Amino acid sequence: MNTIRLHVVLVAAAAVLSPITGHADNYICDQQFALCTSAPCIPQPGNPKVAICTCDVEEGPKLATVPCDTLKPSTDANGVRTIFSTYSPSSFSKANRC
């Protein structure tokens, strides 16, 4: 599997995407995702809720607690690509690399 490194902007979206409850549904999404658990990050200047990280970007299955369409990668009118960092089974095999 080809892995690319990409600067990814991480937003504290978990609180916005779903309310905190004692129960979470799980979804297996087969789409592009970022592995950022051990990525080097810096705060985005002027916005303490956002971090700029260098993450591996992969295609394949990932685990999510919100519907897959909510985490679908997108590109805005300025060409900025948004890719969500989620859990993937491949995280285990790469956890010790960083």
SS3 readout for the chain: CCCEEEEEEEECCHHHHCCCCCCCCCEEEEEEEEECCCCCEEEECCEEEEEEEEEEEEEEEEEECCCHHHHCCEECCCCCEECCECECCHHHHHCCCC
The ranges assigned to domains in the chain are: 4-94
pLDDT digits (tens, 9 = 90+) for 17-69: 445 556 678 899 999 988 887 788 889 899 988 888 888 888 888 888 889 99
Indicate whether this model's pTM tops 0.75.
no
